[in-house]
Amino acid sequence: MIAVLKRGATKADEKKVIELIEEAGFSAHPDTGAETTIVGVVGVAPEKKVNLKEKLQVMSCVDKVVVISDPYKLTSWNFKQDKTVIDLGDGVKVGGNELTVMAGPCSVENEEQMLETARVVKEAGAKILRGGAFKPRTSPYSFQGLGEEGLKLLAKAREETGLKVITELMDIEHIDVVCKYTDIIQIGARNMQNYALLKEIGKLDKPVMLKRGMAATIKEWLLAAEYVMNEGNHQVILCERGVRTFGEETRNTMDLSSIPLVQQLSHLPVIADPSHGTGRWELVIPVARAAAAVGADGIMVEVHPHPENALSDGPQSLKPDNFRLLMDELSAITNSLKSFRSREKKIAYE
């Protein structure tokens, strides 16, 4: 349920609405748009919600009260009037008018590898450096990451290049140390439905990128984001990284249709990860092009100066020259699409 305040409603009016909602035992999630303010009401007491709706409707500052039937509330367009844009500072945004590229190695291996990769992706035009310090691996005998030492190397690369940093958080016990070094917390596919972790992330004032689970439906993906937002953190980015199917030629099946579909359902930015979506470096560039063409807000790819020696995911990592080629092609695609995107989105959301 949402309460739409009248134009001209003051902060004092908004405070009264929030107090009424919270006194009734629900959580309030205000969102101020360009013209009006919406206050989302979240809770699990239907009988109380009917009574609350009536009380809200008679408030002089409330224009209307709308009951949302969708299972996801805070992630939907019903809750928010404007598209969510994650502002990381220094002009770096995810969800704005520009395609944001995140690039770097699967795993942070050593200082030389990390700094060399950071310089390459920075020069080519990437805005965010990716790299795993804690790695969830299928086999317990595979490289598991450098831990905090890897985080320190990411921070050093950020200091030298000015790139923002994204890295994966795997466990609640690592929250403090990961938050100390990263600009965006990545929640991987295996943890998409780790609800205890999602709730803790929701209590932070830190952007979160939530990858789609290997077998997750769109509904399950959006409800996972709902767990984060329901705790108060609305800085959520969604990442399509492919789903598990019967195909064996690629690591996953990249569901490009999910990108425009989710953008019709949700105000959250959606990026694509063709490295994990395909598992093959020679497919990364064409699938990234396709993701940009269907309207992705960003692209995340793995880049390694020497993929043949990578400790993880070498077969799906781009070499520096191929990454530069990708950036040139993405620039050409996004420039050609700019004149059409606003019109397409208007049609999609009507």
Q: What is the pLDDT of residues 181-192, one digit of tens each?
A: 999 999 999 999
**Cα–Cα distance between 323 and 192 in angstroms, integer?**
28
Q: Is 185 helix (H, G, I), strand (E, B) or coil?
A: strand
pLDDT band (50, 70, 90) for residue 34: confident
Domain ranges of the chain: 2-66, 86-348
Question: Per-residue pLDDT for 349 more than 50?
Answer: no
Which residues on adjacent β-strands are paired with residue 165?
Answer: 129
Q: Which is nearest to 146 in space by CA: 161, 137, 135? A: 135
User: Which residue matches tokens 């303010």?
Assistant: 37
What would the two tokens of residue 347 be? Answer: 């049609």
Q: Which long-range contacts (CB under 8 A, 24 or more apart) does 213-221 make?
A: 213/189, 214/189, 214/190, 214/243, 214/244, 214/252, 215/243, 215/244, 216/189, 216/192, 216/243, 218/258, 218/261, 218/262, 218/265, 219/71, 219/72, 220/192, 220/193, 221/192, 221/262
Q: For residue 312, what are the CA distances in angstroms to 5, 56, 167, 270?
A: 51, 55, 15, 25
What would the two tokens of residue 95 be? Answer: 């969800």
**Cα–Cα distance between 309 and 74 in angstroms, integer?**
44
What number of H helices and E strands is found in the chain? 11, 14
Q: Is 340 exposed, middle or buried (0-12, 13-18, 19+ CB in 10 A)?
A: exposed
Radius of gyration of the chain (CA): 21
Q: Taking the model in full, what pTM does it have?
A: 0.88
pLDDT band (50, 70, 90) for residue 338: confident
Q: How many CB atoms lie within 10 A of CB 231?
A: 16
Q: Which CATH architecture has domain 2-66?
A: 2-Layer Sandwich (3.30)
Q: How many CB atoms lie within 10 A of CB 283?
A: 18
What is the CA 287 to chain-centroid distance, rounded?
Answer: 19
Q: What is the pLDDT of residues 45-60, one digit of tens each?
A: 666 777 888 899 999 9
**Cα–Cα distance between 249 and 279 in angstroms, integer?**
9
Q: What is the pLDDT of residues 103-151, one digit of tens each?
A: 999 999 999 999 999 999 999 999 999 999 987 767 776 777 789 999 9
Q: How many CB atoms lie within 10 A of CB 248?
A: 6
Question: Per-residue pLDDT for 217 more than 50?
Answer: yes
Which residues on adjacent β-strands are paired with residue 41?
Answer: 28
Answer for the pair 331, 338: CB distance below 8 angstroms, yes or no.
no
**Cα–Cα distance between 281 and 141 in angstroms, integer?**
24
Alpha helices in the chain (DSSP H): 11-23, 46-57, 111-124, 148-161, 175-181, 195-201, 218-230, 258-265, 274-278, 281-293, 320-349
Q: Which long-range contacts (CB under 8 A, 24 or more apart) does 143-151 make?
A: 143/107, 143/311, 143/312, 145/107, 145/108, 146/107, 146/108, 146/109, 148/177, 150/107, 150/108, 151/108, 151/177, 151/178, 151/180, 151/181, 151/182
**Cα–Cα distance between 161 and 125 in angstroms, integer?**
11
pLDDT band (50, 70, 90) for residue 339: low
Q: Which is nearest to 283 in space by CA: 302, 296, 270? A: 302
Average pLDDT, the chain: 92
Match domain 86-348 to its CATH number in 2.30.30.30, 3.20.20.70, 3.30.230.80, 3.40.50.300.
3.20.20.70
Question: Per-residue pLDDT for 345 more than 60?
Answer: no
